[in-house]
Amino acid sequence: MTAASLLSVPRRASAAGRSVRHLGPNWYAAVMGTAIVPGAGAALPVRLPGLTALWALSALLLAVLLAARAAHWARHPDQARAHLLDPKVAPFYGCLSMALLAVGGGALATGVPGAPAIDAALWTAGTLTGLVAAVGVPYLMIARHRIGEADATPVWLLPVVAPMVSAALGPGLAPYLPAGQARATLLLGCAALFGLSLFATLLVLPVVFARLLRHGALPTALTPTLFLVLGPLGQSTTAVGNLADAVPGSLPAAAPGALAAPGALSAAALLYGVPVTGFALLWLALAAALVVRAARRGMRFSMTWWAFTFPVGTCVTGAASLARHSGVYALDWLAAGLYVLLVAAWGTALAGTLRGLFSGELLAAPR
C-alpha cells in the first residue's frame, strides 16, 4: 500500500476495493473541513442559520470514521502498518487530532447542548493524539522513512500543526475551569503548544518552498495541498487572539502585570496576527494560481481537495479575531469573504466525495 491510494485520481472500484482496507487517515480531513464551517461561521459578527445542523453532520462523520478506522486497524493491520511506514501517508495521522479538536471546538462555538463537556473530552483526546503525531511522525521520517529532497510537500505540516489547533481552541475552555491554578495551567499549556507548533512549522516551511523552487510545481493531484500552508498561519493568528481574550484575570496574582493587561495582549495579538495574515493572503493568491494551472493540465477530484477547506477556515477565524481586537471593519469583510470561499470549497469537496463514495471509486484499491 502506497500513497497512491490516498493521493491519486480515483478509478473504478472493484467489490473488494470498497472495503475499509483502503480507508486511510486522510479521510479525517473531511471531518475537519466540515467542522470548520460552523466553527468559522460562529466567529463572524452575524449569526448564520444552520450552523448547529452542520456541526451535527461533522460529529456524525467523526463517529463513522472513528469506527471505520478502528475496523481498518483490526481487519487490515498490514495496511495500517504500511501507512505508517509510507512517508507520503504517515503525515496524515495528524488529521485525526485536528478532526477531534475541530468537532469539539465547533460544539462550543455553536452552543450545542452539553458543549463544554463535549469540547473538554474531544480537546483532551485531540491534544494527546496531536502530541503523539507531532513527535511520532517526524521520528518515523528520520528513523524509518527514506526521503529525498523532491519528496517535500505541504502534507508534512499536518502532524506539527495539530498542536496549534489545540492552542487556538483550548482558551475557549478556560471559563469552565476553576479560577486559579487549573485555568492558568490550561492557558500556559496552550501557549506552550503554540510555540511547539510555530517553531516546528518554521522548520518545515522553508523545506517545502525550497522544493517548489528547485523542482517546480507539485503533481496535479497534490497541488491542492498547497492550501495546507494557510493552516498554521490562520490558526496561529486565531490562537494569539483567543489567548489575548482568555489570559487577563486568569493567571495567579504573582504573574507579571503585563500578562494580565487586556490592552497589551490585544496589541500583541495584532502585532503578530496582521503581518501573518498578510503573508497568508499572499500564499492564498500563489496557491490559487498554481491550482488554476493544475486544473488546466487536467487535475481531477481526489481527497486532497479537502485541503481547500480547513486551512481557509482558520484564516476566517484569524481575520475575525483581528477584527475583534482592532475594531477595523475591513477585517470583518475579509473574514466574510474568506467564509464565502470556505463554503464554496466545502460544497465542492463534499459533492466530489459523495460521488466517489456512491461509485465506489474513493475506496478502491490503488492503481
Q: What is the pLDDT of residue 33?
A: 97
Neighbour tally for 292: CB within 10 Å: 12
Q: What is the pLDDT of residue 331?
A: 97
DSSP 28-66: HHHHHHHHHHHHHHHHSSSPPTTHHHHHHHHHHHHHHHH
Identity of residue 257: G
Cell of 365: 484499491
Q: How far apart are CA 134 and CA 139, in angstroms?
A: 9
pLDDT in tens, 295-343: 999 999 999 999 999 999 999 999 999 999 999 999 999 999 999 999 9
Q: Which residue has the higher pLDDT, 247 or 315?
A: 315
DSSP 86-127: -TTTGGGGHHHHHHHHHHHHHHHHHT-TTHHHHHHHHHHHHH
Average pLDDT of 185-193? 97
DSSP 120-170: HHHHHHHHHHHHHHHHHHHHHHHHT----GGG--GGGGHHHHHHHHHHHHG
Q: What is the pLDDT of residue 7?
A: 47
- Please state, for a pLDDT cut of 70, what percent of the chain lies above it: 92
Name the CATH topology of 4-359: Glycosyltransferase (1.50.10)
Cell of 210: 525550497
Buried b (16+ CB within 10 A) or exposed e, 295-310: eeeebebbbbbbbbbb
Q: Check: CB of residue 151 under 8 Å from CB of residue 91.
A: no
Q: How far apart are CA 68 and CA 163, in angstroms?
A: 24
pLDDT in tens, 35-51: 999 999 999 999 899 99
Mapped to the 3 state alphabet, what secondary structure does 292-355 carry? HHHHHCCCCCCHHHHHHCHHHHHHHHHHHHHHHHHCCHHHHHHHHHHHHHHHHHHHHHHHHHHH
Closest by CA position to 313, among listed 247, 205, 237, 240 = 237
What are the structural domain ranges in the chain?
4-359
pLDDT in tens, 99-145: 999 999 999 999 999 999 999 999 999 999 999 999 999 999 999 99
Residues 6+ positions from 210 with CB-CB distance below 8 Å: 149, 152
